Amino acid sequence: EMSIIGVEGFSVLPQHCLAICSFFFFAAIAIKLMRDVTPNCVSNFIPLPMAMAIPFYIGANFAIDMFVGTVILFVWERVNRKESEEFAGAVASGLICGDGIWSVPSAVMSILRIDPPMCMYFKPSFTYG
């Protein structure tokens, strides 16, 4: 997509795309400034714009993986706090690498034109009526 934009210019983008991107760019700066100037007791409840942008950059499937990992860590901290502090980084790295490794079978199945199972890929259903 970036090469298409580089060759054909901004005219290939959807209508109002640059205006929307500019708005969210300045909104992220405003949120970050608001987070910096408020006291810690308030700024803890203001989200980080970069953290909100990660799913758009990497993809929504990674955000789902991070959510599931956070829930696992939350429960693990309640059950065994000492062990969760020692192994949380290793478990998180394993979950991230596991998700990355799953892209290899996905690419092979795509090359062979095999439809992946439901648990591997979600696509919209079309109803004809």
pLDDT for res 1: 60
**Residue 28 or residue 54, greater confidence:** 28
Would you state the structure tokens that stand for residue 106, as one six-digit string? 């996905």
pLDDT in tens, 112-127: 887 766 555 555 555 5
First-residue to last-residue Cα distance in the chain = 34
Of 48 and 53, more confident: 48
DSSP class of 46: S
Assigned token pair, 109: 């199945």
Which has the higher per-residue pLDDT, 43 or 56? 43
